Amino acid sequence: MSSSPRSWRRAGTALRAWRSGQWTVAGAGAPATAVLVGAPTDVLPNPLFGRSVPVQWWNYPALAVTAALAGIVLSTCVHPPAVRRPASPAPQPHTADGGRLGAVGGVLSFFAVGCPVCNKLVLVLLGASGALTYWTPLQPLLAVLSAGLLAEAALRRLSFETECPVTPSA
């Protein structure tokens, strides 16, 4: 057993071993994430939401990366039906860390691509001019941080899938 909770080799092995159910969750989770983040921030134009500041060019790739990585993280929650994971008294720290990182990364992506003056929290803390002057330049950094957290969550969760392989019970 390795001391590191993550391994690119184990993550790649886990992805190659995925069954159709896991790929289906990733395929459905990615566009669902894109809509859940992109619609309220109006990166995906819709009649329900609007924004005062135009969408920036980098919002689209940031949303795409967020959606793809979130789909992968969501898929790590799906286990093939033939494999039973043993019940454990406490959650495994590697999967819990990956889950928390993924959740934080997803929330950060919302703040990263959202309208800087439409965000009530930012508006209350900085005011409209502060949001445009200070928050707007930070948003691309938040997008990179969000993608990094989601990638780390995916790497940890995928690595854990092959760290202690469980054989199907008869």
| pLDDT score for 119 | 84
* pLDDT tens-digit map of 31-73: 999 999 999 999 999 999 999 999 999 999 999 999 999 999 9
Nearest Cα neighbor of 76 from 51, 57, 101 is 101
- Residue 10's pLDDT band (boundaries 50, 70, 90)? confident
| pLDDT score for 163 | 62
CA 131/CA 139 separation, integer angstroms: 10
- Residue 8's pLDDT band (boundaries 50, 70, 90)? confident
Secondary structure (DSSP) of 103-159: HHHHHHHHHHHS-TTT-HHHHHHHHHHHIIIIIHHHHHHHHHHHHHHHHHHHHHHHH
Q: What is the pTM of this model?
A: 0.81
| pLDDT score for 89 | 45
Please give the helix or strand (H or E) that residue 29 lies within, else none: helix 20-38
Question: Which of residues 57 and 79 earns the better pLDDT score?
Answer: 57
